[in-house]
Structure 1
Amino acid sequence: MTASEVLQHLYLLNTSSPDFLRVLYGLIRYDEDEQYSSTLEGAELTRLVDFLDDVRSFPPVSPPAANQSPQALCSIHTSDDVFRRCLRKLRAICGCHSILPSSHIIRGDLKRIGDGAIAFGGFADVWQGSHDGKRVCIKVLRISLNDDEFLTKSFYKEAVVWKRLRHPNVVPFLGVAHKPLQFVSEWMPNGTITRYVRDNPGADRINLLLDVAEGLNYLHTSYTIHGDLKGPNIIVNHDGHACLTDFGLASISHGINSIRVTHAHGHTPRWTAPEILKGAEEITREADIFSFGMVVIEVFTGRHPFNDSIATSVTFKIMDGERPARPQGTQELGLVDPVWGMTVNCWQQEPTHRPIMAAVVGFLREW
């Protein structure tokens, strides 16, 4: 059968049909080397992308009950795996073909506000803007995607990952606009978490860290690894709650808790786990947890970790097991012995010695 014939058969299946998951799983497994998707173009490619987008939008499978049969547990595992593979497939196709599902394209009146950007990154400028009269944040790519293949793929992959995330501690993503390519997200008036604690000395830092932990735990339980957790990628909303953003290095886990490292592009040493700095082939949830430990330093000091060291020396310090010293004068802000102990555990040199994010959430909730 041709790619078009197989896909046509799939499109005709009712999503509640017992054959649906089987056919979808077979298609995705068979297409791991792009035998189908690489031959599609135009309307057929658009239809496949929109179809996969609809599938990955299905509600997540509920956790199994303790008394469910092995057959039921197998079915749950299979359907969960299929939807995860579907999302990975969609992400790969969009990155390869520079295409996005129609649901990702923002419509209506979008415009920038002011005479210049309010923040600058390595490849993009951040503007305040408005969309149909509502204030929004616009991330505008500064360079042509054609100039950087990694950047091209990352742009479309980030949109696919970010669009599916729905959580109070994740910045809501509204969509993508073209000419030039722009990410549009909900406006967060209080800036980054580092700036927020500097501007608000009396801020409840434990609650801010709980917000970050809740958001990160949501990612991890949704088969997503952030990959670049740091203060500049944590924004505070109008209610004073911290929200994760900037999913340019995020990915969908291939196994239980890891993604393949395909490029060192974008990592920032001050927050990066030692195994990644040493060239590990996978980024894991444990690497995100290490970064969370560094975020604790930012939240209690208002400064980057290793603030008195240059980036190149930080890389060697982290690989050698050195960590930031406990900040002085922060006990009254909440950095008491148990919280410091949690921080130290998060940045253990051995990844398996770090706590899971759910445990960090539980600790901070009780504290």
Structure 2
Amino acid sequence: MQNQDTSNNVLQTVQVLLSLAPVPGLAVAAIAIQEIHKLVQNVAARKSECEALAGFADNVLKTIQSSAKTRADSQMSAAIDVVIKVIADMKADFGIWVNYSRLTGYIQNSEIRGHIERHRAGLNEALTIVGLAQVIEQAKWNQQFTEAHSKDQVLLQDMSQKQDQTNKEITELKQLLVTPNWVQRTDNEAEENRASVMQKLSHLRRQPGVLPDRDLIYEIQKTGDRPFHSGALYELWKGVWLDKYIVVLKVFRGKDPNDQKADRAIERVNRQIDLWRTLKHENILPLYGIYYLKEGGSTSTCFVSPWMTNRDMMRYLKLSPNADRLKLIHDVAKGLRYLHSIGILHGALQGSNILVGDDGNAVLSDFTLSKFMEPDAMISQTGSQSSLRWWAPETHNHQTLSSHTDVYSWAMTALQIVSGHEPYYKIRAIGKLVNTINKHTTPLRSNYDYAAVLLKDDRLWNLLEDCWAASPEKRPSMDKVIGTLEALMPDYVVTSSGVSQTATVTSLPTPHEPPSLPTVTPTFPVPVPTPAPTFPVPFPAPAPTFPVLVPAPAPSAPNAVRALRTPEPTAQSTARMRSASPAPSSAIVKFTKDESSDSGPNAHPKKASKCIIQ
């Protein structure tokens, strides 16, 4: 039956192409429409309106095609151009929306609705150009769009009601923590009551399909009198969430995300925060919410994320020089591919913005950094720490950023991870560095070859150079980057004592069950936090968001490095090895397992790590 359906689809496609062959461009648009119809079946957000839009576009295309057989004037040509562009834009949007969950789509609801209306207006414009607006039964289509909108609104209202009820319960529980008659009891009673509230809050924040209020006031306890990290861009504090989970509080220097005057600006920042909270991927750092940190008479908005024992990538590599660097750059590539699949750019990728979990997985953070930082704050850094080293030339020239920009930065970051050196590490003067990048002068291989075995593999270096192409459009997609890396992986084997020229793979270890998220039990009476300050503009009520994935720690071999694998010699493999490039001759959202309740209030099913060494 499936083969018959496939044959019918192929026949239908051929018939469409033949009928549209005399009209340049419409055949491509017809194929795009067929792909849109397939995509819409898996779209979760505003599904009914997306289906109506796909049907309307199909009808408009056929109407234009039929009229084009008898007309060849400039107006018809203009209408065809409009239809082709609108359908191409629809395909691109549907390709992103298909990767949204219902709750992620809820956060992006206004954006999706706006795009649907824009595409519909574009199709109507094409009909108007050639005077065919009356041919297509506008009243009928208007009715279909109205019914589709009503159907989608019912689903959105159900989600809003669930969200509102959850937030109401959370607010009532938090109020108990600051009620005098409730907290002024014996120490034992107060401690028991607080523990009960925190347990209920944890349960509410674990509800499927809901990520509650982003404001974590009364739920966070900062530990220590000083940040454990203080840099040019941000400072980091350690804290405890819900009296149990170890977290990091990140305070950005420069512009506070909440320190903005215009309501529209606040709404935009909040939407970005909520969008981050919906992301669900093993190579993306979860964002639990925000917290107001009061220090030195001022109040700052903190981003709250899980504690990563290994901290940032470059610190991890210093402590574990034999780490599996090929796997790490593969993890980074998978995280970027996920962001790009839902239309998000990182925009600030470098080694210091990548963390390493206890399970050895690299996770991306700070992909909204550029939205919260003043441009001068990033450029003001000097020397080897300058973010300019990872920026693509078009970033320096203030051109429109795209996924190609992230690809360029990924290659610079991969070079840093594999070699241990920053890009252009021999150039210290910022002016000279900027001139070098703007001239499209890429890093010299001779400056890095000695540092890492992996860089002696022509395939990896060629990939990096492809990613550094002067023309952004010529850079590979993250799909292609990952494909190249996975083709490399079977030729390397993990060892525990550094690079081995004779290492071979006989068997792979059985994956261990990941342990729980680190917890802490306060041994001191936990003080009741002061109420949230009124100075920062309050965040609006949050939209429902997708649960956040908490990367669960797992045992790993920290002192591991990929060495070139030598398979059993055969005539074919011997010939291949003789012709290989210089290298030691012998020498990343679907999940399958639920975390335990100790894995964090927003923990979610996590895909088991897949061993890709063959």
TM range (shorter): 0.5 to 0.7
Corresponding residue of 2:465: 344
- Specify the alignment match of 1:288 in structure 2: 406
1:162 has 2:276 as partner: yes
SS for the counterpart of 1:111 is: strand
Instruction: Give secondary structure in 2 for the equivalent of 1:289.
Output: helix
> Which of 336, 357, 360 is the matching residue for 2:481?
360
Which residue number in structure 2 is paired with residue 204 of structure 1?
324
| CA separation of 1:285 and 1:200: change in aligned 2, threshold 3 A | same
Deviation at 1:273, TM superposition (A): 0.7
Work out the number of aligned pairs and report it. Answer: 278
Change (3 A) 1:316 1:206: same
Q: Which amino acid aligns with 1:114?
A: G
What's the TM-score, normalizing by structure 2?
0.41
* 2:347 maps to amino acid: G
Deviation string for 1:86-117 (max 9, x for gaps)? Answer: 9xxxxxxxxxxxxxx95322255312223321
| Structure 1 position 220, deviation (Å) | 0.5
Partner in structure 2 of residue 55 of structure 1: 106
| 2:334 is the counterpart of 1:214 | yes
Q: Distance in 1 between matches of 2:304 and 2:334?
A: 23
Aligned to 1:195: 315
Find out whether 1:325 has 2:444 as its counterpart. Answer: yes
How far 1:200 moved relative to its partner? Answer: 1.1
Alignment partner of 2:426 out of 291, 295, 308: 308
Q: Name the structure 1 match of 2:559.
A: none
1:276 aligns with 2:398: no
What letter matches 1:289 in structure 2? V
Which residue matches 1:237? 357
Higher relative contact order (CA 8 A, sep 6+): 2
Whether the 8 Å CA contact 2:345–2:367 is kept in 1: the answer is no
RMSD: 3.7
Change (3 A) 1:316 1:250: same
Residue 296 of structure 1 aligns to which amino acid in structure 2?
A
Give the equivalent residue in structure 1 for 2:249: 138
- How much does 1:223 deviate? 0.8
User: Match for 1:323: what amino acid?
Assistant: T
User: 2:339 aligned with 1:225, yes or no?
Assistant: no
* Aligned-residue offset at 1:178: 2.4
Instruction: Give deviations 1:187-207, integer Å, cap 9, x for gaps.
Output: 111121122222211111110
Q: CA deviation at 1:264?
A: 7.3
What secondary structure, in the 3-state scheme, does the structure 2 residue paired with 1:279 have? coil
Post-superposition shift, 1:54?
7.5
Deviations 1:215-243 (A, max 9, x none): 00000011111111111111111111110
Distance apart, 1:361 and its partner CA? 1.0
SS for the counterpart of 2:476 is coil
Give runs of aligned pairs for residues 162-181 of structure 1, distance below 5 A: 162-179=276-293, 180-181=300-301
Determine if contact 1:158/1:247 at 8 Å carries over to the other structure: no
**Residues of 1 paired with 2:47 and 2:479: CA distance?**
35
Q: How far has the Cα of 1:20 moved from its partner? A: 9.9
1:352 positional shift: 1.1
Aligned-partner Cα distance in 1 for 2:291–2:353: 21
Q: Which residue of 2 aligns with 1:9?
A: none
- Equivalent-residue separation in structure 2 for 1:324 and 1:107 (angstroms): 47
- Selected match of 1:129 from 217, 224, 239: 239
CA-CA distance at 1:332 after TM superposition: 2.3
CA distance in 2, matches of 1:124, 1:294: 22
Is the 2:254–2:377 Cα contact (8 Å) retained in structure 1? no
Could you tell me how far apart the structure 1 residues matched to 2:328 and 2:48 are? 45
Match of 2:173 in 1: none
- For the structure 1 residues 309 and 195, does the alpha-carbon distance in structure 2 shift closer, same or farther, using more than 3 Å as the test? same
| Contact kept in structure 2, 1:172 and 1:186, CA below 8 Å | yes
Q: 1:157 to 1:301 in 2, by over 3 A?
A: farther
Structure with higher Rg: it is 2
Aligned to 1:110: 220
What SS class does the counterpart of residue 181 from structure 1 fall into? Answer: strand
Give the gaps of 5 or more residues in structure 1: 1-14, 24-50, 62-74, 87-100, 252-261
- CA contact under 8 A between 1:271 and 1:305: conserved in structure 2? yes
Aligned 8 A contact 1:224 1:250 in 2: no
Specify every segment of 5 or more residues in structure 2 that has no aligned partner in the other structure, as ranges. Answer: 1-44, 54-101, 113-144, 157-210, 294-299, 380-386, 489-614
Q: Distance in 1 between matches of 2:468 and 2:376?
A: 20
8 Å CA contact 1:194–1:303 kept in 2: the answer is no
Q: What is the TM-score normalised by the length of structure 1?
A: 0.66
Q: Is the 8 A contact 2:328 2:361 kept in 1?
A: yes
Q: Letter of the 1:307 partner, please give it.
A: Y
Secondary structure of the equivalent of 2:358?
A: coil
Is the 1:168–1:243 Cα contact (8 Å) retained in structure 2?
A: yes
8 Å CA contact 1:157–1:248 kept in 2: the answer is: no
Counterparts of 1:157 and 1:57, CA distance in 2? 8
Distance 1:19 1:322, change over 3 A: closer
